[in-house]
């Protein structure tokens, strides 16, 4: 390191490292009236760095602004490609959308006529999201049950055109009245299944995952899922 000693002419080249030629005033004896270092004197040196340009030390109690890296995304992609890393946001390999089919029942029917009517509800949801008590169905249809059917087994038999998310043309849900049915979309056929909230679809006494909606006027039961 280049030292400036007493009686030697001060120079602006006060450090031998060209990248750190200037000092904090606090490390070179403080700032003099001329705005430069006053110099340090100790057992080995006299007026060390006197006359060198210096800067006031920053206020380290103030949080600095965040780093600005304008080419960050470009550099990150170059490194990613160079190392042949896997995609940070890979396309999902499993289902992301679901057609959920549920039924609404009158919770406290006043007579057999009110008891017999159910409303089949078709909802589009994100995978892993329940429709809860939503009312924005893709389609719904009221049907009358047969009160003489002892096992109370009902299916939404028929064909139902539905506008499903992710397809620019209508899909069609088809049910032959004997199983969970299938969802047919452009270029895709989706097998539907029993909703797992129904613990035993073959047993009318099993826990069906039913919950209240419409201020307790309706009981809603999850029935089928078509995941894609």
23-24 and 54-55: which strand pairing? parallel
Minimum mean pLDDT range among 59-68, 137-146, 212-221: 59-68
Ranges of H-type helices in 84-151? 112-116
Q: pLDDT tens-digit profile of 25-66? A: 888 889 999 989 998 888 877 888 888 888 888 776 776 666
Nearest CA among 3, 73, 82 for reference residue 45: 3
**C-alpha span between 156 and 178 (Å, rounded):** 9
**C-alpha span between 228 and 225 (Å, rounded):** 10
What percentage of the chain exceeds 90 in pLDDT?
48
Q: How confident is the model at residue 86 (pLDDT cuts 50, 70, 90)?
A: confident
Q: pLDDT tens-digit profile of 166-183? A: 999 999 999 999 999 999
- Residue with more model confidence, 82 or 134: 134
Mean pLDDT for 75-84 is 78
Q: Is the pLDDT of residue 116 over 50?
A: yes
Q: Is the pLDDT of residue 90 over 60?
A: yes
Burial label, 216 (beta-carbon count in 10 A; 0-12, 13-18, 19+):
exposed
This prediction has a pTM of 0.60
**C-alpha span between 227 and 15 (Å, rounded):** 70
Nearest CA among 157, 178, 161, 145 for reference residue 99: 161
Query: How far is C-alpha 2 from the geometric centre of its chain's CA atoms?
Result: 57
Mean pLDDT for 144-148 is 81
**C-alpha span between 57 and 106 (Å, rounded):** 76
Number of C-beta neighbours around residue 36 at 10 A: 21
Q: What is the rounded end-to-end Cα distance, in angstroms, of the chain?
A: 70
């Amino acid at each position: 390191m280049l030292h400036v000693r007493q009686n030697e002419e001060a120079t602006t080249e006060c450090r031998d490292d060209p990248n750190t030629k200037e000092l904090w005033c606090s490390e070179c004896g403080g700032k003099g009236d001329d705005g430069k270092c006053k110099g340090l004197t100790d057992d080995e040196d006299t007026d060390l760095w006197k006359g060198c340009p210096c800067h006031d030390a920053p206020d380290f109690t103030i949080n600095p602004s965040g780093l600005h890296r304008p080419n960050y995304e470009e550099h990150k992609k170059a490194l990613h490609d160079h190392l042949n890393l896997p995609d940070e946001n890979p396309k999902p390999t499993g289902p992301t959308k679901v057609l959920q089919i549920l039924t609404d029942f009158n919770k406290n029917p006043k007579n057999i006529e009110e008891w017999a009517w159910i409303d089949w509800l078709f909802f589009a949801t994100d995978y892993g999201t329940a429709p809860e008590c939503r009312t924005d169905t893709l389609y719904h249809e009221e049907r009358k049950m047969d009160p003489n059917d002892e096992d109370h087994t009902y299916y939404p038999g028929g064909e139902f055109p539905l506008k499903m998310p992710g397809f620019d043309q209508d899909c069609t849900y088809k049910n032959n009245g004997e199983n969970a049915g299938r969802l047919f979309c452009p270029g895709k056929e989706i097998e539907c299944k029993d909703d797992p909230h129904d613990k035993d679809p073959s047993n009318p006494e099993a826990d069906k995952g039913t919950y209240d909606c419409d201020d307790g006027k309706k009981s809603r039961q999850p029935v089928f899922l078509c995941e894609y």
